[in-house]
Amino acid sequence: MTAYYHHYILNFKQPSGTSRGVLDSKETWFLILKDNDRKGIGECGMFKGLSIDDRPDFEQKLQWVCNHIHLGLNSLLQELVEYPSIQFGLEMAYMSLKSKYLFELFPSEFTEGSESISINGLIWMGSEDFMRQQITEKIEAGFTCIKMKIGAINFKTEVEILKSIRKEFSSNDIELRVDANGAFSPSEALEKLKVLSDFDLHSIEQPIKPGQLNDMAELCKNTPLPIALDEELIGVFSKEKKKDLLKTIMPQYIILKPTLIGGFHGSNEWIEIAEKQKIGWWITSALESNVGLNAIAQYTFTKHNFQPQGLGTGSLFTNNFASPLEVHNGSLFYNKKNNWKFNL
């Protein structure tokens, strides 16, 4: 077996605002395995500024994997504990290599096209007009769950936007989630959550920055609305530390991004621990191309979690790869009539 990787830059259709700044492009890396006439493709979608494996030796480690592919999947995964996005790309590539079809990793009713996955509509940060425009578009497109990123513009303005949605749509019509990306300080967070709780929100993601375990635990204990941990899970490698983190904080939900937490294996560990502690969860993509998004979506379907998942990012890029993935009425479908065009 041989392996090589290919660096690729995804370009956003329009700049996308987060609390970490505005994104106009997103780097990713494709790991390609060849074994005689068989081929496997995986995506290592390291996220600069967020991934724990955003480090100077990232590509060097990827090349090391290619040079040592003969060690086999399990041995390589153990060597890549601190490189979760490479772990995920490697898992994906091996599954692809062994699959009947290159991009069909988890055959199911989803890949057959008979079932879909409910997803949230993502509202990016920006001006008030821009955010309102996105909300209108998502509702008109049939989404019944909207996730709004907050923490970049004036909090009062964000509250007014939420208020205007609730004036028109009750929580029975539209489920509202907000994602603060750690934008609140511990001293102000509880008061802001009290304000937000007036709008019958489903949850708030990562209200304060990760790493403040006692503050987050206190917040989760006293919060008037459910809290979901997101960035808090990044860089927690061992099963024991995962258990300790959830036992200490006791959040209402956790959010799993396979690229950032060690792929399918890492996600399965978090799910097992969370369910034992009666903590809810859902799965989200992290700006991968359609290759990574496809793998995450297929995996997600097999988990039979029926609340909306965060898998609607495939249409953000001008140079994404054509795939069977389609979004209709707030759900992600796999349309087998559409062929893959992965031309690297």
pLDDT tens, position by position, 267-301: 999 999 999 999 999 999 999 999 999 999 999 99
Count the neighbouring beta carbons within 10 Å of the beta carbon of residue 234. Answer: 17
Given pLDDT bands bounded at 50, 70 and 90, which one contains residue 18? low
- Which one of 147, 209, 242, 257 is the catalytic residue? 257
Q: Is the pLDDT of residue 206 over 70?
A: yes
pTM score of the predicted model: 0.96
Decide if 27 contacts 7 (C-beta within 8 A): yes
Given 26, 138, 147, 149, the catalytic residue: 149
Residue 154: pLDDT over 90: no
Rounded CA gap, 301 and 109, in Å?
Answer: 9
Comparing C-alpha atoms, which of 80, 25, 93, 110 is closest to residue 317? 25
State what percent of residues in the chain have pLDDT above 90: 89
* pLDDT on residue 151: 84
Pairwise CA distance, residues 165 & 263, whole Å: 35
pLDDT in tens, 238-258: 999 999 999 999 999 999 999
Q: Which domains does the chain have, with CATH numbers?
A: 2-98 (3.30.390.10), 109-334 (3.20.20.120)
**Catalytic residue check, 149:** yes
pLDDT digits (tens, 9 = 90+) for 89-134: 999 999 999 999 999 999 999 999 999 999 999 988 778 888 889 8
Over residues 39-60, the mean pLDDT reads 97
- Please state the rounded mean pLDDT for residues 165-181: 93
State the amino acid at position 280 in one-letter form. Answer: G
Nearest residue to 45 via CA among 100, 5, 95: 5
Residue 76 has pLDDT above 90, yes or no: yes
- The verdict on whether 26 is a catalytic residue reads no
Q: What is the pLDDT of residue 126?
A: 78
